[in-house]
Amino acid sequence: MCPSAPKEPLFFKRIAKPTVWGGRRLAQMLGFDADATPIGETWELSDYPGMETAVRGGRFDGASLQQLLSEFPDELLGESRPDPNGRFPLLVKFIDADADLSVQIHPPDGELSPNGVGKTEAWYVLDSVRQSAGFDETNGDVIPERHGSVIAGLKAPANRLQLEADAASSKVLQHLQEIEVNAGDCLLIEAGTTHAIRSGVLLCEVQQTSDLTYRMYDWDRGGLDGQPRTTHVAEALAVVNYKAPAPKPIRAEFPAVAVDAVQPAAQVASLTNCEYFRLHLVRVHAKADHHPHGFARILCVLKGSGVIHSEAGGERNLQLGDVVLIPARMGEFTVHPGVNGLELLEAVAL
């Protein structure tokens, strides 16, 4: 390990995870070879035990996020808080739902979670088109493409006794709110919210550092081994937040720029806030200076390309799918967009 604290943007080696509901889009989008394996998610930045991502390039090449946090907690986190187990508080994934994910729920922090850490997450939708199913056999018409959707929350008014009776079967869908989503939509899924990502949706997820999922219903299918996947109906029902309203999609709203005005180097729009993180959408049009302001920040490249420059780290290229940790005490850095511009999802750890 280097004797001096990290003062440069930290890039990470992704971890690709095969799933029964995964597809090919992540391998195509991010440019890695997965053979014929269906990849459901890539963990881009993680301090989850046993799944810690390692630094890619720079002075700390090969070091895990946990190693850096253990040695340089203030330099990495600053005013951001570690999770209750001393881990880096946020985990970032890309998710490709080639098939529906299970109807599931995550517990909140505290006694309802086996390790005390809950899982609140936010989804930023990158693509949401369900492919055409072909022809309608009844009349021969082509079934058109349609936008994907997500399940998020309960229909109002929630009927607790009926939900408990129906939770382990397809009848549970009668109780759940299904929402059409489009590229650019953001949803905050708080712990205790019943949810599922439906087929056709590709997204970036920012979440608490947890991998605890209670499956309520899994579409009566088998896993990659052909055997039914475990469900956790009792545990799921124990953590349902019946008072929470169904989440609604949020879209970035950038301030209007007058036709005769000089376009700003970068535009920042708020997406969502919770007690664990803030999310912004950032569009970079020209060389722009930025500063972490004492909080750990994560930049996810959603569109375009560019260069990020810091005094200690020099220049590093930015390309689609890069997820970069900006240490809280790093100081000012500069971002230069490529010819097609640069769009970033910024997560601020609180």
Range among 65-69, 127-131, 140-144 with highest mean pLDDT value: 65-69
Please check whether residue 315 is in contact with residue 307, taking contact to mean a CB–CB distance below 8 angstroms: yes
- Region 189-194: mean pLDDT is 97
Give the pLDDT band of residue 149 (cuts 50, 70, 90): very high
Please check whether residue 119 is in contact with residue 198, taking contact to mean a CB–CB distance below 8 angstroms: no
- Region 208-228: mean pLDDT is 88
Residue 136: exposure state from Cβ atoms within 10 A (0-12, 13-18, ≥19): exposed
Count the alpha carbons within 13 Å of 310 in the hemisphere toward its beta carbon. Answer: 22
- Region 196-223: mean pLDDT is 94
Q: Cβ neighbours of residue 180 under 8 Å, at least 6 residues apart? A: 128, 147, 148, 149
Give SS3 for 86: coil
Examine the pLDDT at 2 and tell me if it is beyond 60. no
- Which segment of 235-239, 311-315, 346-350 scores lowest on mean pLDDT? 311-315
Give the pLDDT band of residue 223 (cuts 50, 70, 90): confident
Q: Would you state the pLDDT for residue 144?
A: 66
Q: Would you state the pLDDT for residue 145?
A: 66
- Region 269-288: mean pLDDT is 96
Distance from C-alpha of 310 to C-alpha of 324, rounded to nearest angstrom:
13
Adjacent-strand bridge partners of 233: none
Examine the pLDDT at 269 and tell me if it is beyond 80. yes
Adjacent-strand bridge partners of 333: 290
Distance from C-alpha of 40 to C-alpha of 35, rounded to nearest angstrom:
14
Distance from C-alpha of 192 to C-alpha of 215, rounded to nearest angstrom:
12
Q: Would you state the pLDDT for residue 25?
A: 94
Please check whether residue 196 is in contact with residue 153, taking contact to mean a CB–CB distance below 8 angstroms: no
Q: Supply the mean pLDDT for the chain.
A: 92
Q: Would you state the pLDDT for residue 256?
A: 80
- Region 285-295: mean pLDDT is 94
Q: Would you state the pLDDT for residue 239?
A: 95
Nearest to 68, CA basis, from 59, 290, 333: 59
Token pair belonging to 161: 């006794």
Examine the pLDDT at 34 and tell me if it is beyond 80. no
Please check whether residue 181 is in contact with residue 201, taking contact to mean a CB–CB distance below 8 angstroms: yes
Examine the pLDDT at 66 and tell me if it is beyond 70. yes
Cα dihedral 284, 287, 293, 299 sign: positive
Q: Would you state the pLDDT for residue 207?
A: 98
Q: Would you state the pLDDT for residue 313?
A: 83
Examine the pLDDT at 135 and tell me if it is beyond 60. no
Q: Would you state the pLDDT for residue 245?
A: 87
- Region 11-40: mean pLDDT is 92
Selected residue with higher pLDDT from 3 and 53: 53
Q: Would you state the pLDDT for residue 26?
A: 95
How many Å is the maximal CA-CA distance in the chain? 71
pTM for this model (two decimals): 0.93
Examine the pLDDT at 106 and tell me if it is beyond 90. yes
- Region 276-286: mean pLDDT is 97
Q: Would you state the pLDDT for residue 1?
A: 56
Domains and CATH numbers, the chain: 10-250 (2.60.120.10), 266-349 (2.60.120.10)
Distance from C-alpha of 58 to C-alpha of 322, rounded to nearest angstrom:
15
- Which segment of 131-135, 203-207, 280-284 scores lowest on mean pLDDT? 131-135
Peptide bond into 157 cis (omega under 30): yes
Examine the pLDDT at 109 and tell me if it is beyond 90. yes
* Unique residue bearing structure tokens 């390790």: 115
Give the pLDDT band of residue 132 (cuts 50, 70, 90): low
Adjacent-strand bridge partners of 289: 334
